[in-house]
Chains A and B, each alone.
Chain A
Amino acid sequence: MKLSVNTEIGLTHLLSRKRQTLVASLGVTIGIAMYIFMNSLTLGVNRYSDNAIFKNAPHLRVYKEDEMSKPIPGVSSSSGLPVIVNPKISNTSLNLVNPQKLLKDIQSQKGVTAAAAYVTANLFYTNGKSQVNGVASGVNILEANAMFNIESTMIDGDLRSLVNTPNGILLGVGIVNKLNIKLNDNINVISSVGVVKLMKVVGIFKTSFAITDKTKSYVSLATAQQLLGQGPNFVTDIYVNVATPALAPSYVPLLQNLTGYNVEDWMVANETAVAGSKIRGIMLGGISWAILLVAAFGIYNILNMTITQKLNDIAILKATGFSGKDVIRIFVLEALIMGFLGTCFGVILSLVPTTALAHVYIGADIGYFPIRFEPSIALKGAIIGMIVTFCAGYIPARRAAKVDPLAIFRR
């Protein structure tokens, strides 16, 4: 192997003080390991909480906003100003016009992975005297399943029966318990506009949200439309999923233009949860950066010390023809080698807490702690680690480059 003189000198310095080299590297090792661990933690927990959101909510929702009544043009008060004394929600339908075309248009957009039409109906579930109020989602159950993986929450029955059973209904387990019924029983539902229908329970689901389980049901689109006394073109919402949930907000203007209706992304709809993610990110990110900086400071410190001890050597090198740049190269190289060693071990070390935590059983529908070794974060950590060590090396190296050999020889 052919080494340049600068490399050889740097390596000799490192090898002749192995303990210091090791200590400085170890600082980086711990810093990088913590950085990777903390960020994997943030990513894992945020991914889990996002997924929890996406179990019930789509990335984007297209709907028609309620309109407030507007003054009738031309009718004005004596002062000349149009006045409405008591503005109310105007009694217009929340129907999306021509939903089939909208759905097709949306599905053909780049980045859209799934889109489903929804009809939401408020209603009562009744069994004899027992009555539970709730919300039915009229859906094409296969489309909805593609979006929310409803199948994974089914505890009884089969969601596919909804396709074949015209009056079938999938009920949350809370409703089933309250009404004291079981699979294949019949119940009556009464909609907010007074339509009554006899439905057959073809499936029971259980999510991690008790509220959902106590109110929610799935019926076919047609059933929901009938319950609301509407025709087959009545659709209240279109749910849209995109390839990258984080980019959902960028689809809002696009879909708004395309459909002409209101579009809401999941981050707006779940502001609290998103804020929680952000706070976690900032907190753990801050801690991991702090640890990384401490590690970098370790390298800075040791290099600074080395340079102070080696003023004589630096002077000799410069006298025998090494330029300031060579001196910088020598010491930056030393920092980078320590940083590289530390980073490699740090990546390996980060496996320990991540795998350990990944084996901690939390229970409920979380199961094991939602963390895993994230190669992308490890890569980012390694790159940051190298950049930070470069800076930690460069600052003292520049000082070394400025050493005036005469000032040393004259001493």
Chain B
Amino acid sequence: MEREIVLNTSKIGKFFYDPIEFKALDDISFEAYKGEFLTLIGKSGSGKSTLLYILSTMDTEYEGELFIDGKKITGQKQDNLAKIRNENIGFVFQFHYLLPEFSCLKNIMIPALKLGKFSREEIEEQAYSRLKMLDMTDQALKPASKLSGGQQQRIAIARALINNPKIIMCDEPTGNLDTKNTQIVFDIFQQIAHELGQTIIAVTHDTDFAKASDRTIELADGKIISHGKK
């Protein structure tokens, strides 16, 4: 069966110049398929986050080319990129999570309100269904700043899912979670990838988590050393 490519890169390289010239990524070419649960592993400092920022369209200063859904992303205007992110990419950050003054529910709803595809009531309903998936319904109306790190991370995951993006990118999505919740998140990822056809690209240190995913790409010193099982 011919699989549909959702995201692919061609020879991506990234330099940092401060404090010294340093090549953080080198010749990164790979593709991610529709409905694939892809994990990125590698030692600390190997360039996982750096790569993810480029894939997320937030970093625009790199060599090589990035395509999402066959469309070239490299070189597009900031406002366009913002729109692409809003529609096509859900992002779960490594450290920074939520807007502290808003309730959890609002945090989840905001990207959808921005997208404006559904009415407020529909969006609220969708947000609640995501909360339910993550076992967080009882926290819905709490301000985000009043949650624990793990709870915040789950809200961030719910937010990443709200617009049914083609791709969900996560930097250590389970870094702050216990085994039970890690399992919940894993099952959700599995489910949305395989049942809903969304693509997951997750950076992780958790080798069990990586092993259980569809495919694992391994980075070392800014280079891909393994494309994982096909």
- Chain A residue nearest in CB terms to B93: A409
Is B161 among interface residues, defined by CB-CB distance under 8 A? no
With known contacts A5-B113, A5-B114, A406-B53, A320–B101 Cβ distance under 8 A: no
Report B15-38 CB contacts with A as 1/0, cut-off 8 Å. Answer: 000000000000000000000000
Please measure, in the bound complex, the distance between the C-alpha atom of A322 and the C-alpha atom of B99, giving whole angstroms: 14
Contact, CB under 8 Å: A321 / B99: no
Chain B CB within 8 A of A344 CB: no
| Residue B196 at the chain A interface, CB threshold 8 Å | no
By a CB distance below 8 angstroms, the chain A residues around B120 are: 2
Give the residue among A2, A5, A325 with the most B Cβ atoms within 10 A.
A5
The prevalent SS among residues of B at the interface is: helix
Asked if A9 and B91 sit within 8 Å, CB to CB, the answer is no
User: Cβ of A321 and Cβ of B58 under 8 Å apart?
Assistant: no
Q: Which residues, 1 to 46 on A, are CB-close (under 8 Å) to B?
A: 2, 5, 8-9, 12-13, 16
Q: CB-CB < 8 A to B82: which residues of A?
A: 318, 321-324, 326
| B87 contacts partner chain A, Cβ-Cβ < 8 Å | yes
B79 and A321: CB pair below 8 A? Answer: no
Stretch at the interface among A53-61, A245-253, A308-316: A308-316
Contact with A along B77-101 (1 / 0, CB 8 A): 0110011011100010111111111
Within the complex, what minimum Cβ distance (angstroms) separates A404 from chain B? 8
Structural contact, B94 and A320, CB atoms closer than 8 A:
no
Inter-chain CA distance A5–B162, complex, in Å, is 15
Taking a contact as CB atoms under 8 Å apart, the answer to whether B111 and A320 are in contact is yes
Contact partner of A408 (CB less than 8 A), chosen from B96, B98, B99, is: B96
**Cβ–Cβ contact A409 & B115, under 8 A:** no
Q: Which residues on B sit within 8 Å (CB–CB) of A410?
A: 49
B85:A319 contact, CB within 8 angstroms: yes
- What residues on A are CB-neighbors of B97 within 8 Å? 316
Check if B101 sits within 8 Å of A405, measured CB to CB: no
Is the pair B113, A8 in contact by a Cβ cutoff of 8 Å?
A: yes
What's the nearest-Cβ distance from chain B to residue A326, in Å?
A: 7
A281-329 contacts to B (CB < 8 Å): 312-313, 315-326
User: What's the Cα separation between A359 and B198 when bound, in Å?
Assistant: 75
> Chain A 324-352 against B: per-residue CB contact (8 Å), 1 yes, 0 no?
11100000000000000000000000000
Q: Across the two chains, which residue of chain B brings its CB closest to A17? A: B101
Check A405–B58 contact: CB distance below 8 A: yes
Contact A323 B79 (CB under 8 A): yes
Are B114 and A320 within 8 A (Cβ)? yes
Q: B91 is contacted by which of A16, A313, A320 (Cβ under 8 Å)?
A: A320
Q: A13 to chain B: which residues have CB within 8 Å?
A: 101
Chain B nearest CB, measured from A307 CB (Å)? 14
* Residues A324 and B79 in contact, CB atoms below 8 Å apart: yes
Are B115 and A321 within 8 A (Cβ)?
Answer: yes
Q: Given known contacts A9-B99, A316-B98, A325-B79, what 12 new A-B pairs fall within 8 Å (CB)?
A: A5-B114, A316-B93, A316-B97, A316-B99, A320-B111, A320-B114, A321-B82, A323-B78, A324-B78, A406-B53, A409-B53, A409-B95
> Would you list the 7 A-B pairs with minimal beta carbon distance, nearest first?
A321-B86, A323-B82, A5-B113, A16-B101, A320-B111, A323-B79, A321-B85
